[in-house]
Amino acid sequence: MAPSASRPASQLRFIQHKQEAFWFYRFISILYDQVLNPCQYTVAMREDALEAADLSDRSMVVVDVGGGTGFTTMGIVKRVDAKNVTVLDQSPHQLVKAMQKEALKECRFLLGDVEDLPFQTDYADRYTSAGSIEYWPEPQRGIREAYRVLKQGGKACLIGPVYPTFWLSRFFGDAWMLFLKEEEYIEWFTKAGFEDVQLKRIGPKWYRGARRYGLVIGCAVTGVKPVPGDSPLQLGLKAEDVSRPASPFVFLMRFVLGTMAAIYYLLVPIYMWIKDVIVPGCMPI
């Protein structure tokens, strides 16, 4: 696996914070399935990613964390009975969209925090999360929670972005959300206590494997919980307290910059689609 580009320790963090993400999705939820998924996270990508989750038994208990409008959940209930699936998200607006989908009528829906899940230890057979980690202030804390709620032998499948190497994508990525290096996923899973950690690259077919521009959904990372109980990793207090009001100026700045970056990342896949049409298949894009 080729190494990812280096990223400065003083990472810019704007829209990725949970408070800004809450309001961002208050509006984007209206068009999320119609606009974002066709460009960034297609049905084919979802099915490819969920293969890694090993949803091999319809009676499995599954938690879909940061489930949003239920796009990934729609793939899960093809493999697992909906009554055994819980969809959790911090956005009530996203969850309303998920609740309206007929295939998800029997799912359980919860408002909650990915860094403090409302499930008992050793609860689920599978943990899935797609397109959510980029907004977590502390990805390590969220992955630690994934470990805690799984049963012994349970598997976590985290589907998320990959860090760009192209300078303009890097700038907008850093101004929008946390684009992770592949090595970081593996490191955080391992520190949380997971074993058999695997990373599977995914992406829209029209990218032809090109990853330098970054991918909002670019990989599926899995790990198995080897023993029952809590994670061996101990952490301190949370980095972000969402109960404390943010500075209005800072909030607005983050929101505006994040929205500009989101528009850029809607244009990138269109650009890649055009290149895929124009550039001969034997040539890299």
Per-residue pLDDT of the chain (285 residues; tens, 9 = 90+): 444 444 444 455 555 566 666 656 655 545 556 566 677 899 999 999 999 999 999 999 999 999 989 999 999 999 999 999 999 998 888 899 999 999 999 999 999 999 999 999 999 999 999 999 988 888 999 999 999 999 999 999 999 999 999 999 988 888 777 889 999 999 999 999 999 999 999 999 999 999 999 999 999 999 999 999 999 998 877 766 555 656 777 777 777 877 788 889 889 999 999 999 999 988 888
* CATH value of 18-226+248-278 in 3.30.460.40, 3.40.50.150, 3.40.630.10, 3.40.50.300: 3.40.50.150
Question: d(Cα 61, Cα 84) in Å, to the nearest integer?
Answer: 5
Tell me how crowded residue 249 is: count the other CB atoms within 10 A of its CB: 8
pLDDT score of 21: 63
pTM of the full structure: 0.87
Question: d(Cα 240, Cα 197) in Å, to the nearest integer?
Answer: 28
pLDDT score of 8: 46
Tell me how crowded residue 271 is: count the other CB atoms within 10 A of its CB: 12
pLDDT score of 185: 96
pLDDT score of 205: 92
Question: d(Cα 202, Cα 253) in Å, to the nearest integer?
Answer: 32
pLDDT score of 7: 45
Question: d(Cα 100, Cα 123) in Å, to the nearest integer?
Answer: 26
pLDDT score of 23: 57
pLDDT score of 9: 44
**Token pair 């057979």: residue:** 125
pLDDT score of 160: 95
**Residues across the chain:** 285
**Distances in whole angstroms, Cα of residue 255 to Cα of each of 151, 203, 207, 251, 262:** 38, 27, 28, 6, 10
